[in-house]
A and B are shown apart, each in its own frame.
Chain A
Amino acid sequence: MFKLNFKIALRNLWKNKTASLINISGLAIGLASCLLLLLYVSYEWNFNKQLKDEANVYQIMINFDGPAGSISGTGPRTPNTVGPALQQSYTSVKAMSRIDDGDSRLIANGRNSFKKRGRFADAGILKIFDYHFISGDQKTALDAPNNVVLTESTAKLLFGTADVLNRSVRFEDKVNLKITGVIKDLPDNTSLQLDYLMPWTLFEGMYEWTKRPAWTNYSWTTLVTLSPDADPDLLNNSIKGIIKKHVSDATSSPMLFPFSKLHLYGEFTEGKSTGGGIEQLRLFMGLAIGILLIACINFMNMATAKSEKRAKEVGIKKTIGATRGSLISQFLMESLVLTLCSAVMSIVLVEVFLPLFNNLLGIKMNIVYANPYLWISLIGIVLFTGVVAGSYPAFYLSSFNPLQVLRKRTPSRGILSVSLRQVLVVVQFSFAVILIIATTVIYKQIQYLKNKPAGYQMNELVELAQDGQLEGKFELLKERLMQSGAIEGICQLSGSMAMYNSNFWGMEWPGSNETERHMVFSQMATTYDFVKTTGLKLVEGRDFSRQFPSDSAAVMLSVSAVKQMNLVNPVGKIVKYQGDNCTVVGVFEDFVWNAPSQKQDPMVVAFRKQQGGYITMRLNSANPASANLAVIERIVKDINPAYPVEFKFVDALYAEKLKSQKILGLLSNVFGGLAIFISCLGLFGLAAYSAEQRTKEIGVRKVLGASVASLMQLLSLNFLKMVVLSIIIAIPVATYVMDNWLKKFDFHTTVSWLMIAMAAAGTITIALLTVSYQAYKAAKANPVDALKYE
Chain B
Amino acid sequence: MIKIENLEKVYKTEEIETTALNGINMHVKTGEFVSIMGPSGCGKSTLLNVMGLLDKPESGSYKFLETELLSMNDKQRSNFRKQNMGFVFQNFNLIDELTVFENIELPLIYNKVPATERKRLVNEIIERMNIVNRSGHFPQQLSGGQQQRVAVARALVTKPKLVLADEPTGNLDSSHGNEVMELLCELNEQGTTIVMVTHSSHDASFSNRIINLKDGHVISEKINKSRTEELI
Contacts and interface: CB of A to CB of B under 8 A. Distances in A.
B71 interface: no
A11 interface: yes
Interface in A298-318: 312-313, 315-318
A317 B97 contact: no
B81 interface: yes
A322 B55 CA distance: 16
Nearest to A15: B97
A402 B54 contact: yes
Interface string A660-688: 00000000000000000000000000000
A319 interface: yes
A406 B94 CA distance: 11
A560 B205 CA distance: 108
B54 A11 contact: no
A385 B105 CA distance: 32
Interface string B139-162: 000000000000000100000000
A716 B98 CA distance: 35
A317 B102 CA distance: 12
A403 B49 contact: yes
A8 B110 contact: no
B81 A313 contact: no
A319 B89 CA distance: 11
Contact of B110 (A12, A313, A320, A406): A320
B78 A321 contact: yes
A315 B93 contact: yes
Interface residues of A, number: 22
A577 to B, nearest CB: 86
Given A313-B97, A406-B93, A320 B75 contact: no
Nearest to A313: B95
A568 interface: no
Nearest to B155: A320
Interface string B77-93: 01101110001010001
A637 interface: no
A777 interface: no
A319 B54 CA distance: 7
B110 A316 contact: no
Given A403-B49, A403-B54, A320 B106 contact: yes
B97 A321 contact: no
A11 B55 CA distance: 31
Given A319-B54, A321-B82, A406-B89, A4 B105 contact: yes
B111 interface: yes
A7 B82 contact: no
A598 B124 CA distance: 85
A27 B178 CA distance: 51
A321 B98 contact: no
B102 A320 contact: no
Given A7-B98, A402-B54, A403-B49, A323 B111 contact: no
Contact of B75 (A315, A316, A323, A403): A323
A289 to B, nearest CB: 34
A1 interface: yes
A316 B95 contact: yes
B110 A321 contact: yes
A521 B109 CA distance: 83
Contacts of A317: 95, 106, 110
Interface in A1-52: 1, 4, 7-8, 11-12, 15
A11 B97 contact: yes
Contact of B97 (A7, A320, A323, A406): A7
A7 B102 contact: yes
Nearest to B46: A403
B107 interface: yes
B99 to A, nearest CB: 9
| Residue from B52, B82, B154 with most neighbouring chain A CB atoms (10 Å) | B82
A321 B93 contact: no
Interface string A370-405: 000000000000000000000000000000001100
Contact of B87 (A312, A319, A326): A319
A322 B79 CA distance: 9
A371 B184 CA distance: 64
A163 to B, nearest CB: 65
Nearest to A319: B87
A790 to B, nearest CB: 12
A321 B107 contact: yes
A320 B93 CA distance: 11
B60 to A, nearest CB: 18
Contacts of B95: 8, 312-313, 316-317
B77 to A, nearest CB: 10
A326 B109 CA distance: 11
Contact of A312 (B75, B83, B93, B106): B93
Given A4-B105, A12-B97, A321 B55 contact: no
Contacts of B111: 321
A315 B78 CA distance: 12
Interface string B49-76: 1001011000000000000000000010
A321 B110 CA distance: 6
Contact of B109 (A1, A15, A316): A1
Given A4-B109, A403-B54, 9 more contacts: A4-B102, A11-B98, A15-B97, A313-B95, A313-B96, A313-B97, A316-B93, A316-B95, A322-B110
Interface of A: 1, 4, 7-8, 11-12, 15, 312-313, 315-323, 326, 402-403, 406
30 contacts: A1-B110, A4-B98, A4-B102, A4-B105, A7-B97, A7-B98, A7-B102, A8-B97, A11-B98, A12-B97, A312-B93, A312-B95, A313-B95, A316-B94, A317-B106, A318-B78, A319-B52, A319-B54, A319-B81, A319-B93, A320-B106, A320-B107, A320-B154, A321-B83, A321-B107, A323-B75, A323-B78, A402-B54, A403-B54, A403-B55
Interface of B: 49, 52, 54-55, 75, 78-79, 81-83, 87, 89, 93-98, 102, 105-107, 109-111, 154
